Amino acid sequence: MIKAIAKLILALNGNVKRTQIAAGFAWGTLLGLIPAGNPFWIVLFLVSFFFLHNHGAKIAALALVKIIYPTFVYQIDALGWFVLHIESFEQFFTTMYNTPFVPFTKFNNTLVMGGLTAGIILWIPVYIALVLFIPLYRNTIAVKIRNSKFIKAIMKFPLLSMIDKAITKG
């Protein structure tokens, strides 16, 4: 986890394309909203490696969403129930359920369907927000953080100074 956060900090402060970082956050948001451990989550996680994005951002967003997930689990559950009870999808869901191996994905679980739906809905807004935020961070916020008295005081500790040098070298 610490390695992923260090990679994210390197990417935010380095020369990594902001679209790759934003795509990583979008993947992490999607994966964070789906309950982990079921085959559907595992397949999505493996599929995510076939797309170009920052894996540190994905892991950081996944961890962040999993931390705050309990605060909106009831809304995710209600969204999943709503989607699973849309009358025009009933035949599609029945066909999927009767297809071999598809029921093991637990797509008919309200939390899985709600997380998938919320992740798909939030994908583009998260992506756009991060694409717009990263230049602001790089040009304004990072400079203020680096020049703050608190960070300068922390960097006087030898271990943290070595970590900072390792991060800035990349």
At 138 the pLDDT is: 79
Of residues 153, 100, 142, 105, the one with CA closest to residue 13: 142
Alpha helices for the chain (secondary structure H): 2-13, 18-33, 39-48, 55-68, 73-84, 90-98, 110-136, 142-146, 149-154, 158-169
Where does residue 91 rank: exposed (0-12), middle (13-18), buried (19+ CB within 10 A)?
Answer: exposed
Per-residue pLDDT 10s for the chain (170 aa) are: 566 666 666 666 666 788 998 999 999 999 999 998 888 899 899 999 999 888 888 998 999 999 999 999 999 999 999 999 999 998 988 888 888 887 788 888 899 999 999 999 999 999 999 999 988 887 887 777 777 777 777 767 776 666 666 655 55
Which residues fall within 8 angstroms of residue 102, CB to CB, at 6 or more apart? Answer: 96
Distance, CA of 168 to chain centre: 24
Tokens standing for residue 93: 């869901």
Task: With beta carbons less than 8 A apart as the criterion, state whether 12 and 168 touch.
Answer: no
Q: Which one-letter DSSP state was computed for residue 87?
A: G
CA distance 104 to 75: 24
At 12 the pLDDT is: 66
At 3 the pLDDT is: 63
The predicted model scores a pTM of: 0.79
At 17 the pLDDT is: 84
34: helix, strand or coil = coil
CA distance 130 to 91: 38
